[in-house]
């Protein structure tokens, strides 16, 4: 490996070199590599010689110098180093750019301070800079560790001590200046944060009197000295939270590389494996890329494994307590590192830092003043104190946008919260935090009426974790449930805009239970909460209750309050509940009632929404021409609100939702190409508005089924995958069940009957449990046809009979022609003579119903089946005369499966009299 230093030594080549001609297991090689590491005392001083390259071999990474000539030349006497810099205990991983930048700035400007929070790696970078530059200083360099000093007045004496300069007066500066006046030397002042004023004064004095001296300092905050250049040290770059990272991809991130190297040194040759990548990257992210924290975590892998370390990070200050025994005390535990910084703060700065720990995410200065300020610290003082904490590397400021945001890293926040919990003011701070969130989101609710949706979300979505924290406290035994109810109502628009339906359901149900048990009557909040509960229940299987009950209660309260807005919301919800439960006759009555109430509003869009509800219901009832008229009128006149989102009032983007019905009607009427273009445009628009509920609705109700009906299996596969990706969490499990059914139907059409039928059965069972029957008849039809192809005629017949019974009961007539066709196909699997006659009756009934509905697509599909049956009966001429005129009525969609099948059959039949 030394011969090929810096290169990967392939494990097979190593085995062949060491054990020529023998068969040796990889485990033997790993054992010998570990023995070499122990012999070199790798990791004992932080040094690493050998790095594992997963799946390939090993790389020797220590510096190798090659000499030529005789032995005497090969080992020359080592000259005096000319400096007292400590040997670096670890190489600066991921810091090459920073080291180069500091080198350049130091050579140009003479004085650079490396600034960053405790444990970030300031000393490591400073020593790397010194290593690179020391040869350019004629008189070498000196390292001055200021950490042990308790008295700032001893700073000049510390420098004099390492220089060997005798100080014989109370003023040390003349002797130091005299010694350094003609020197070319690099001075490294390490750990200046607790002696800032003295270190700054010494630096300024030396730079004035010794022109050949350069100063490099490390500190938690700038020295604020004359001519000082500040280099802030960022955290180590961590891998993103994305699935599928390989070992090599993960190791390209410095934080992961540091973790793996330190774990290998302490855990007997630990190697990163594919299955560990997500856990290791999560550890590095949660530790904010702080080098010390990552090193301490890696050292616990030998005791707990990577998953054990990850699971214990909530109590990281207890876990991360085993640093090097030779390290400074504050670098031996994570708690000690933060204690050092915390104790250097003034008392009022400590108070503010503790209080800022209550923020889970980023916060503004206004928020900081509201939560950190009180009778003890007036709000106007908070901004200066926050700025001081930013300078001391304890708070991070993001000044890139129009609004300046602040945040504590996860580790700093955990420390601040621990300190806050130890203080008796924690409950008061939590109350102020909850009150601020309430005030903010009551204002946000009003802004939602006037502010563009994307802008509104950009301003408020990042606060979701603080809302959660405030609600958790409010409903805790020591909290304020009244405040919790108010905050739940105020946060409603945020949950809906972010499509967090399951979270909304659980929190709204808790608040509603609290309110109903209270002696205080608050009908307006009851109305809001009943609507929120009903909304959020509509697309989750967690609650199989009929949402119509909650909507009816919300409507009754709205009537009592004479609140037209919530009358409309409740009527929409009652309509949607009937549609989802397969009660289309009742849904049409509610759609007309909605239109009647909407006539009394000033917003024309509300009246047009009545057209959409009516059109969608008529489609399900099989009245396609009337449905299309209502939908096209709505789309022609509806103007998408720029400054108000209908997604919260009526759950979905209304243009996207209207096109769902239009695409289905277009396909049924024989305009397959237009239908496919419509779903493609609709999905693109749903993606562009970044509203997950609208996107899932567009995929589940139109894109997937229309693509499947048209036989465009590639498009169906793409849309189904998109739907399943969007519903991977448990919040939208109704649509996830849809996705499984579509996936099953797709597999059946591709010939994978076993997998497809199993997926269809599982998805149908889930929809049954949720009593969500809209579209259930469609999936039952697909299941029946698949069972018939698989040869299970008895179960296929029972399934299609159930589907037809459901369709008749619910008046879901749009799919009835297809169900009758499938019934005929299933019947043909039985006794040939009887089945043919019965199948022909089913086909004829299907065709007549399709004509009544003006559903040309269903008519063609069934007519093709009937023509095929007549061909098999030796009636080719009748078959041709039946199918040919119908085929000629189409002027598009010739690449769809149904038209290609009809054309193929016509070509076959045209050769017969």
Tens digits of per-residue pLDDT, 506-555? 899 999 999 888 877 889 999 999 988 888 777 665 444 567 788 899 99
- Nearby residues of 556 by Cβ (< 8 Å), 6 or more positions away: none
Q: State the burial class of residue 481 (Cβ atoms within 10 Å of its Cβ: 0-12, 13-18, 19+).
A: middle
pLDDT on residue 755: 94
- What's the Rg (C-alpha) of the chain? 37
- What is the predicted pLDDT for the residue at 38? 64
Kind of pairing, strands 8-10 and 141-145? unpaired
* Cα angle for residues 127, 131, 137 (degrees, 5° grid): 115
Determine the Cα–Cα distance for residues 744 and 753; give it in Å rounded to an integer: 9
pLDDT (average), residues 174-179 = 91
Segment 430-437 mean pLDDT: 96
Report whether pLDDT(492) > 50.
yes
CA 567 to chain centre: 36
Q: Give CATH for domain 1-77.
A: 1.10.10.10
Percent of the chain with pLDDT over 90: 51
Alpha carbon of residue 809 to chain centroid: 43
pLDDT score recorded for residue 90: 61
pLDDT tens digits along 776-805: 889 999 999 999 999 898 999 999 999 999
DSSP characters over 26-92:
HHHHHHHHHHHHHHTTTTTSS---EEEETTTEEEE-S------SSHHHHSPPPPP-SB-PPPPSS--
pLDDT confidence bin for 446, thresholds 50/70/90: confident
pLDDT for 848-892, tens place per residue?
999 999 999 999 999 999 999 999 888 999 999 999 999 999 999
Reported as a single tens digit per residue, the pLDDT across 717-775 is 999 999 999 888 655 677 888 999 999 999 999 999 999 999 999 999 888 877 666 67
Least confident of 172-176, 208-212, 649-653, 846-850: 649-653
> Nearest CA to 581 among 569, 593, 573?
573
Which sequence spans correspond to the domains of the chain?
1-77, 96-232, 247-335, 345-423
Please state the rounded mean pLDDT for residues 822-840. Answer: 84
Per CATH, 1-77 and 96-232 having the same topology is answered no
What three-state secondary structure class fits 500?
coil
Q: Nearest-CA neighbor of 421 among 489, 358, 486, 336?
A: 358
CATH 3.40.50.300 describes domain 96-232? yes
182-239 pLDDT, tens digit each: 999 999 999 999 999 999 999 999 999 999 999 999 999 999 999 999 999 999 999 8
- Position 912 pLDDT exceeds 70: no
The pLDDT of residue 89 is above 80? no
Tell whether the model's pLDDT for residue 898 goes beyond 70. Answer: yes
Per-residue pLDDT, averaged over 23-48, amounts to: 67
pLDDT the model gives residue 73: 40
Q: Are strands 141-145 and 111-115 parallel, antiparallel or unpaired?
A: unpaired
Contact between 121 and 92 (Cβ < 8 Å): yes
Residues 454-472 have pLDDT tens digits of: 788 888 888 999 999 999 9
Query: At 820, which helix (H) or strand (E)?
Result: helix 816-827
Q: Give the model's pLDDT for residue 544.
A: 47
Q: Are the CB atoms for 887 and 899 separated by under 8 Å?
A: yes
Q: Which pLDDT value is given to residue 384?
A: 92
DSSP string, 761-819: HHHHHHHHHTT--TTHHHHHHHHHHHHHHTT-HHHHHHHHHHHHHHHHHHT-GGGHHHH
Least trusted range by pLDDT, from 324-333, 361-370, 524-533: 324-333
Using an 8 Å Cβ cutoff, are 699 and 715 in contact?
A: no
Overall average pLDDT of the 16-45 stretch: 71
Residue 103 token pair: 């080198």
Does 106 or 60 have the greater pLDDT score?
106
Q: What is the pLDDT of residue 80?
A: 41
Model confidence pLDDT, tens digit, residues 766-779:
888 776 666 788 99
Give the residue from 626, 653, 649, 629 showing the smallest Cα distance to 639: 653
For residue 71, is pLDDT > 50?
A: no
The answer to whether 617 touches 582, Cβ cutoff 8 Å, is no
- pLDDT for the residue 411: 82
Q: What pLDDT shows up at residue 907?
A: 93
Distance between CA atoms of 428 and 364, rounded to whole angstroms? Answer: 20
* Residue carrying structure tokens 């006659």: 837
pLDDT for residue 785: 93
Contacts of 380 (CB under 8 A, 6+ apart): 369
pLDDT tens-place string over residues 573-608: 899 888 888 889 999 999 999 999 999 887 888 889
33 closest CA partner among 270, 202, 294, 250: 270
The predicted pLDDT at position 324 comes to 52
188 vs 568: CA distance, rounded Å: 72
Neighbours of 357 (CB within 10 A): 21
Give residue for tokens 């214990």: 312
Query: Closest Cα to residue 320, out of 289, 353, 298, 349?
Result: 298
DSSP-based three-state secondary structure for 114:
strand
Residue 68: predicted pLDDT: 52
What is the CATH topology of the domain spanning 345-423?
A: Arc Repressor Mutant, subunit A (1.10.10)
CB-based burial, 85-105: b 16+ in 10 Å, e otherwise: beebbbebbbbeebbeebbeb
Distance (Å, whole) CA 66 – CA 517: 83
CA distances from 281 to 269, 274, 289, 666 (A): 19, 11, 10, 49
Are residues 363 and 407 in contact, defined by beta-carbon separation less than 8 angstroms? Answer: yes
pLDDT greater than 80 at residue 642? no
* Helix/strand/coil (H/E/C) assignment for every residue in 525-563: HHHHHHHHHHHHHCCCCCCCCCHHHHHHHHHHHHHHHCC
Strand locations in 152-297 (E): 185-190, 213-219, 229-232
pLDDT of residue 879: 93
């Amino acid at each position: 490996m030394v011969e090929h230093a810096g290169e990967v030594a392939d494990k097979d080549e190593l085995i062949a070199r060491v054990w020529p001609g023998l068969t040796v297991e990889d485990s033997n090689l790993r054992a010998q590599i570990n023995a070499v590491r122990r012999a070199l005392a790798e990791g004992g001083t932080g040094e690493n010689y050998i790095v594992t390259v997963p799946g390939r071999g090993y790389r020797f990474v220590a510096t190798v110098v090659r000499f030529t000539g005789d032995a005497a030349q090969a080992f020359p006497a080592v000259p005096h180093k000319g400096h007292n810099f400590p040997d670096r205990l670890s190489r600066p991983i991921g810091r090459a750019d920073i080291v180069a930048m500091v080198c350049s700035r130091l050579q140009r400007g003479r004085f650079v301070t490396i600034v960053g929070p405790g444990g970030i790696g300031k000393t490591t970078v400073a020593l790397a800079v010194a290593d690179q530059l020391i040869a350019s200083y004629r008189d070498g360099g000196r390292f001055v560790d200021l950490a042990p000093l308790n008295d700032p007045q001893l700073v000049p004496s510390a420098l004099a001590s390492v220089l060997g300069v005798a100080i014989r007066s109370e003023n040390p500066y003349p002797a130091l200046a005299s010694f350094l006046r003609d020197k070319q030397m690099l001075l490294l002042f390490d750990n200046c944060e607790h002696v800032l004023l003295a270190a700054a004064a010494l630096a300024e004095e030396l730079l004035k009197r010794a022109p050949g001296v350069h100063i490099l300092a490390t500190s938690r905050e700038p020295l604020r000295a004359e001519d000082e250049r500040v280099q802030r040290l960022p955290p180590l770059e961590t891998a993103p939270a994305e699935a599928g990272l390989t070992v090599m991809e993960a190791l390209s991130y410095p934080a992961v590389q540091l973790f793996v190297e330190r774990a290998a040194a302490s855990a007997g040759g630990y190697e990163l494996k594919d299955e560990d990548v997500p856990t290791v990257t999560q550890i590095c992210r949660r530790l904010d890329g702080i080098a010390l924290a990552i090193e301490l975590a890696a050292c616990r892998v030998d005791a707990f494994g990577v998953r054990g370390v990850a699971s214990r990070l909530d109590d990281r200050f207890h876990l991360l307590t085993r640093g090097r025994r030779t390290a400074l005390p504050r670098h031996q535990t994570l708690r000690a590192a933060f204690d050092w910084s915390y104790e250097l703060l003034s008392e009022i700065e400590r108070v503010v830092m503790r209080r800022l720990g209550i923020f889970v995410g980023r916060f503004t200065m206004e928020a900081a003043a509201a939560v950190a300020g009180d009778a003890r610290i007036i709000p106007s003082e908070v901004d200066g104190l926050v700025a001081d904490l930013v300078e001391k590397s304890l708070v991070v400021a993001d000044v890139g946008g129009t609004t300046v945001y602040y945040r504590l890293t996860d580790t700093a926040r955990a420390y601040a919260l621990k300190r806050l919990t130890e203080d008796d003011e924690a409950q008061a701070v939590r109350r102020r935090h909850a009150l601020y969130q309430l005030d903010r989101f009551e204002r946000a609710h009003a802004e939602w009426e006037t502010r563009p949706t994307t802008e509104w979300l950009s301003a408020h979505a990042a606060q979701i974790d603080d809302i959660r924290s405030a609600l958790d406290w409010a409903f805790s035994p020591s909290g304020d449930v009244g405040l919790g109810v108010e905050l739940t109502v105020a946060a409603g628009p945020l949950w809906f805009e972010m499509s967090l339906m399951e979270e909304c359901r659980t929190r709204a149900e808790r608040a509603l239970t609290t309110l109903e048990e209270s002696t205080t009557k608050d009908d307006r909040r009851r109305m809001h909460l009943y609507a929120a509960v009903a909304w959020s229940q509509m697309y989750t299987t967690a609650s199989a209750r009929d949402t119509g009950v909650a909507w009816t209660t919300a409507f009754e309260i709205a009537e009592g309050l004479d609140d037209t807005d919530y009358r409309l919301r409740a009527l929409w919800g009652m309509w949607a509940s009937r549609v989802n439960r397969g009660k289309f006759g009742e849904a049409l009555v509610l759609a007309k009632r909605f239109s009647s109430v909407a006539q009394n509003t000033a917003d024309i869009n509300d009246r047009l929404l009545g057209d959409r509800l009516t059109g969608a219901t008529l489609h399900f009832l099989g009245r396609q021409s009337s449905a299309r008229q209502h939908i096209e009128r709505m789309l022609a006149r509806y103007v998408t609100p720029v400054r108000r989102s209908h997604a919260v009032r009526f759950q979905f983007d209304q243009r996207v939702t209207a096109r769902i019905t239009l695409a289905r009607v277009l396909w049924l009427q024989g305009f397959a190409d237009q239908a496919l273009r419509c779903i493609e445009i609709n999905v693109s628009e749903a993606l562009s508005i970044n509203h997950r509920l609208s996107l899932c609705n567009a995929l589940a109700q139109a894109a997937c089924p229309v693509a499947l009906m048209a036989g465009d299996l590639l498009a169906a596969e793409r849309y189904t995958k998109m739907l399943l990706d969007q519903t991977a969490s448990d919040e939208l499990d109704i649509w996830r069940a849809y996705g499984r059914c579509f996936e099953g139907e797709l597999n059946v059409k591709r010939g994978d009957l076993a997998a497809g039928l199993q997926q269809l059965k599982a998805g149908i069972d889930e929809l049954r449990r949720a009593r969500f029957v809209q579209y259930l008849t469609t999936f039952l039809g697909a299941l029946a046809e698949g069972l018939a192809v698989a040869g299970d005629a008895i179960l296929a017949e029972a399934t299609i009979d159930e589907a037809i019974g459901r369709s008749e009961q619910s008046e879901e007539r749009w799919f009835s022609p297809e169900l009758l066709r499938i019934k005929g196909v299933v019947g043909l699997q039985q006794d040939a003579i009887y089945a043919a006659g019965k199948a022909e009756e089913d086909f004829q009934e299907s065709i007549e119903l399709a004509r009544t509905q003006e559903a040309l697509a269903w008519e063609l599909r069934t007519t093709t089946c009937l023509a095929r049956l007549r061909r098999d009966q030796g009636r080719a001429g009748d078959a041709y005369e039946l199918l040919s005129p119908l085929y000629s009525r189409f002027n598009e969609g010739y690449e769809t499966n149904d038209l290609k099948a009809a054309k193929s059959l016509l070509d076959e039949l045209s050769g017969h009299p």
